[in-house]
Structure 1
């Protein structure tokens, strides 16, 4: 352990707090906010397809007629066929954008992204440790946004072509999360790790909510048949974000030309990372570490809930509970708003308790992980036994997703605790396994 690490570890939470520059307008929190907005758009792109596909596929109900027998149609909702007919049928002309995809093909479209996303997670963390995370996160985002904008045209080329493109999107986006985790280790002081990471990663919940909600609204439009607007809008917003990111973000405080000297010194003092010294990645120690193995399983449990809800909830609401396209988007979004609130509140609480030394970091990380995975699993399972009671089902899911937000102050931040120098690399490895639940 070098002298800088010993100095950092010896500082109490009170001394830390007394040294804290104003956070609200600080450079590091501008980067956290842009990270948040980046995750909002990335996850909006992931989530919106699960709502848009309801409008894209004309035979959605036909492929799932066994479900509709369970729950009668709500008189306030229209069937998917009625919605699609009203939006797409003009002067008895053939339906534009009518895709006769089977339920199996739809499942492949939804899962294709995650197959690709498994591939370059490790590379994202490794190359970020070598070259920095700014450009990996930025250009990975940009290429993903371009491909996403092209989805409406690609869909007309055939479902097989669309599946290949969705796999490619997953491959490209795979570098972004490990890259940003690397940036977090360089910009987040010791007692702000949960808050900094929580602000940024809460974008996944807000983005999922935004993506499903905006998709539900846009898919009800007659203009361009509605659903292509989802891809065009999110892609356009992605270009704006990219410009802001490239101007604002830098790989470390030492490389940022506009950061105040007091904030630069504060971050360098409390991050426990010194990029002026080169460190070899201890591959053998990582691979044989019980903590590392625990992170893999914790990360997988976390993402099993996340991706299961993200891809399946809109179809469950549409096919089982018979919500219309707008209701589908709205009620799919509500649980993610609660998850967003759970991430923010738990990150604030976690770092408050750590800073005041009311609990140990190990204890609070484990407590958050249990609260965020075990309890939500019980609520989500209960929703499956709610029958046709939509209010009860959505309530179970909503409460479960609020508590699920606590997991992001659990193992998600733990990479930063156990190996701040190699947080991006380790995150890339664990997230390789954690993305796999999205493929089945």
Structure 2
């Protein structure tokens, strides 16, 4: 028979503070903490809230990560323009036999051909030889592959704010020094690129782990998507802005690519110091409404650990499904971003300028559809139409199977159908963005306490795929025949299909047993902060914590809840 406790009974057990409330107050139980409220956030309050500000900053840092990584690519193009000979035909020949006209003052020699003066400008210095360009471009990944897993654990130990601050300060410094290194020694350039990749490797796992504390379940997809969308936006910004910087008639132009992105990274660090905090409890400007929204997620009170149980993790099937899906997606993204401009010019026969513009369209599509898919995913979660696992599997399948199938079809098109080819690239790149709502969210689902290390490991394997993809692709298309391109399209399509099938069969969105925090509640918050009274009232402290999380703060304030709280905890009826 169910037994109810009156307020007198509650007093007999002593005063108490709910675990969720205790966690939100920073563990002090202070009475001056921000009170919670049942009033919902307005649209304006939501999108200007502290958690959404973190999403904007997260998108910015990933945008900068892409720009800092790829600015060397555009700089090499600018250097190549300087290295080529420039000829100015028919300048003005003066009566005294001298020659006047554009570039004459910097010309190496003036050639008089059939009475017509032709000014030939000597090639500029060769900063990065053709034979070393591949080494310079790939050296970033040699450093990047080493740190994502360690970065996740370091972020768990020292906090996301500190880790991202150090990472971006060092990244900005290496970028600002790059023009000096390029002019001084090619091997110093390679070393700086390796160091840049090394310090940047912590960024993605750290920015993902941030949402362990800040993302309510119904907003997780949108917040993580905004954070990750910076990478796609960065590809658009880098391609468009860098070309204009090259044209600056000062210091050869190309160093300004590094200067601009380095300075913007410094500005991000300044903004990050004022606006970012590791948890809502540490943030002085979280409103009562936002605290109530964030407090609805169990992840708020979940302790994040820096050392995952490696044996259990490497025995976890969903973990391997996440890894393989990430590798397939990384292979696809690397293939499109690296080889699409070459395919447009060499196979579809677009000129260089047109190829550059068309190559940015798939990334625009990716950014836009990414947000659409995020809204759909969160709506499916809010209305309970799909479980978390099926939600992740749906978008992972859409994001790999459909683009892979379209890539295979592209192999059968030629330059006479180039408009169709471009349209298909735009569509398939947009569809691929759905996969960001699959494997990218899996660490937060299956092991929220270890989201940083899991994301780091996943990024490490994804980076390995990004290293392997160009090696395989370049070897196959060396002869530049359409049949060779069709082969690499089929290979990439098969890789996507394989990753999707594995995730569809073995993926999961359920927190794994090995990832759960099984410490007793009083060990995490202190016994006096939960119930001060005779021991032995209730030993299942984990159930008590879950119950406290599932009952809103406003319910705890009314008389019914105060009279029945002890019974709810003791009976486990939650």
Q: TM-score range by the shorter chain?
A: 0.7 to 0.9
Structure 1 unaligned blocks of 5 or more: 5-16, 61-79
Name the residue aligned to 2:202.
175
Structure with the greater alpha carbon radius of gyration: 2
2:233 aligned with 1:225, yes or no? no
Q: 1:37 to 1:108 in 2, by over 3 A?
A: same
Q: By how many angstroms is 1:235 displaced?
A: 1.1
Name the residue aligned to 2:311.
284
Q: Secondary structure at the match of 1:258?
A: coil
1:37-76 alignment, distance < 5 Å: 37-57=60-80
Name the residue aligned to 1:75.
none
Name the residue aligned to 1:10.
none
Q: How many residues align?
A: 405
Give the structure-1-normalised TM-score.
0.83
2:320 aligned with 1:293, yes or no? yes
Aligned-partner Cα distance in 2 for 1:81–1:24: 53
Are the counterparts in 2 of residues 33 and 199 from structure 1 also a CA contact under 8 Å? yes
Q: How far does the alpha carbon of each residue in 1:37-71 deviate from its partner, in whole angstroms, 9 at most, with x for none?
A: 111111122233333322223599xxxxxxxxxxx
Aligned-partner Cα distance in 1 for 2:249–2:348: 25
2:382 aligned with 1:355, yes or no? yes
Q: By how many angstroms is 1:279 displaced?
A: 8.5
Aligned-partner Cα distance in 2 for 1:136–1:181: 13
2:163 aligned with 1:131, yes or no? no
Q: Secondary structure at the match of 1:358?
A: coil
Q: How far does the alpha carbon of each residue in 1:384-411 deviate from its partner, in whole angstroms, 9 at most, with x for none?
A: 5544455444323211111111111111
Name the residue aligned to 1:77.
none
Q: By how many angstroms is 1:97 displaced?
A: 4.8
Name the residue aligned to 1:270.
297
Q: 1:276 to 1:381 in 2, by over 3 A?
A: closer
2:419 aligned with 1:419, yes or no? no
Are the counterparts in 2 of residues 125 and 179 from structure 1 also a CA contact under 8 Å? yes
Moved more, 381-390 or 216-225: 381-390
Q: How far does the alpha carbon of each residue in 1:213-264 deviate from its partner, in whole angstroms, 9 at most, with x for none?
A: 2123333444433322211111111111110011100110011112113322
Name the residue aligned to 2:107.
91
Aligned-partner Cα distance in 1 for 2:410–2:71: 22
Are the counterparts in 1 of residues 85 and 122 from structure 2 also a CA contact under 8 Å? no
Structure 2 unaligned blocks of 5 or more: 1-17, 21-37, 88-101, 109-120, 469-574
Are the counterparts in 2 of residues 188 and 271 from structure 1 also a CA contact under 8 Å? no
Aligned-partner Cα distance in 2 for 1:35–1:295: 22
Are the counterparts in 2 of residues 343 and 406 from structure 1 also a CA contact under 8 Å? yes
Name the residue aligned to 1:255.
282
More helix by percentage: 1
Are the counterparts in 2 of residues 386 and 393 from structure 1 also a CA contact under 8 Å? yes
Q: By how many angstroms is 1:295 displaced?
A: 0.7
Aligned-partner Cα distance in 1 for 2:61–2:442: 22
Q: Secondary structure at the match of 1:412?
A: coil
- 1:143 pairs with one of 157, 167, 170: 170
Give the structure-2-normalised TM-score.
0.65
Q: 1:385 to 1:48 in 2, by over 3 A?
A: farther
Q: How far does the alpha carbon of each residue in 1:293-340 deviate from its partner, in whole angstroms, 9 at most, with x for none?
A: 111101111111222333333454566667666545433322111111
Name the residue aligned to 2:396.
369
